[in-house]
Structure 1
Amino acid sequence: MSTREIPLFIDGPDGPLEALHLDTPDAVGVALICHPHPLFAGTMQNKVVATLQRIARDSGYATLRFNFRGVGQSSGTYADGRGEIDDALAIARWLGDKHPGLPLTLMGFSFGSCVAGNAAARLEGQGIALRHLFMLAPPVERFEVDLPRQCPITVVQPEDDEVVTPARVYAWSDSLTLPHELLRVPECSHFFHGKLIELKDLLQPRLAPAGVAG
């Protein structure tokens, strides 16, 4: 089985979006991965995003990571998160057409986690069932997040995060009235330096379909 992602462009609301797609034979699901903040060098090549892609790939998922508008070769300009949510929704629609019948999982890191959360809520509102939402180091102190109500939610927060304030994420988690899990990663910085293997060990069992060992 080839593990090589195929570069392509997908029509977005503000022009073509640059993406990398892995079409896994007999996939158990599809993972859509959102990258960190476009104004702070965030791209789909970010090492945490690349790690999420590999974790999903190794768990049997077809995957897609992409550059938000204005990043890399994607058209458009940064749109304060609102436009980036629309970008993610356009990618999700493309994935739904490409992989009909496969459940969708959304994964995001930093800014991308807030985009993924809001996109998941909108997709659920459109009647699209989701398998899981993963939010890594979400900057909830700077971005409002609406969350889906029906799919499992996993929040992963580095305890030594120098970009996102961990206490704000913990307080936000405590304030949520919907079921979710919060995983704290000790001695871990925002970019998961030296902790990517631990991240894989946390996420892989949660990516396994129900009834399948991780």
Structure 2
Amino acid sequence: MPEVIFPGPEGRLEGRYHPQTTKDSPIAIILHPHPQFGGTMNNRVVYNLHYAFHNLGFNVLRFNFRGVGRSQGEYDQGVGELSDAASALDYLQSMNQNAKHCWVAGFSFGAWIGMQLLMRRPEITGFVSVSPPANMYDFSFLAPCPSSGLIVNGGADRVAPPKDTHALVGKLQDQKGITITHSEIEGAGHFFEDPNMEQMIGTVDDYVRRRLTENTR
């Protein structure tokens, strides 16, 4: 998988890009957890999401937000990180101009950034939010949520408690025109330690596979 360096708002951004051999494959970007708490593009959840999407036929890009690894710049409270994500999507689209489907997946802080990107980019057709920290960040900007997607959380998550995720899902499910699918992995913590990782990735795989099948009918 080639290392890539692409331009971001505050300088270079470091990523890993995993293309398909077939033309016109769908595209997906994967967003990592909080930079100030050890979050990088090589986080296990992010890594596994990356390969789940690639195995489903996507051209996939994961990258380090500003100030992480070899990415230039400094942490910017989520504002700059959203700009980084937009730059990453621009870069991915520039190499895949005929992609029919565009997805964003994020874990924890990355889920919050991904949902904001969803609001700004109408070409995003689906999303996966893993362990969205609804107790820490305001998700009220999702009014209305522009795309159907999957929210996955752990039933034993102490970082982003399930009750807050349930409240977020409830608000989104009340909106018309989209379908929010929710899956809670019983006994799983925030980081989906084994054996919960396999179950979480299986849930993502099943959901994305079903959506792709529906879109090709």
* Fold equivalence (TM over 0.5): yes
Deviation at 1:212, TM superposition (A): 8.2
Whether 1:193 aligns to 2:193 is yes
Distance 1:149 1:96 in 2: 22
Q: CA deviation at 1:200?
A: 2.1
Counterpart position of 2:50:
53
8 Å contact kept, 2:118–2:146: no
1:147-186 Cα distance to aligned partner (Å, 9 max, x none): 3744211110101002111111111211223331211110
Looking at structure 2, the residues matched to 152 and 210 of structure 1 have their Cα atoms a distance apart, in angstroms, of: 15
Q: Which runs of 5+ in 2 are unaligned?
A: none
Question: Where do residues 120-199 of structure 1 align in structure 2 (5 Å cutoff)?
Answer: 120-124=118-122, 129-145=123-139, 146-147=141-142, 149-176=145-172, 177-178=174-175, 179-194=179-194, 195-199=196-200
The question of whether the paired residues in 1 share the 8 Å contact of 2:31 and 2:41 is answered with: yes
1:102-142 residue CA offsets vs partner (Å, 9 max, x unmatched): 12100000000000000111112xxxx22211000001221
| Aligned counterpart, 2:205 | 204
Q: What secondary structure does 1:60 align onto?
A: coil
Aligned to 1:84: 81
Secondary structure of 2:30's match? strand
Aligned equivalents of 1:79, 1:42: Cα separation in 2: 14
For this pair of structures, how many residues does the alignment match?
205
RMSD: 1.6
One-letter code aligned to 1:196: M
Q: Which residue of structure 2 aligns with residue 25 of structure 1?
A: 21
Report the 3-state secondary structure (helix = DSSP H, G, I; strand = E; otherwise coil) of the residue aligned with 1:143. Answer: coil
Q: How high is the TM-score relative to the length of structure 2?
A: 0.89
Distance 1:25 1:211 in 2: 23
State TM-score, norm by structure 1. Answer: 0.91
- 2:12 is paired with a residue of what secondary structure? strand
Q: Unaligned 5+ residue runs, structure 1?
A: none
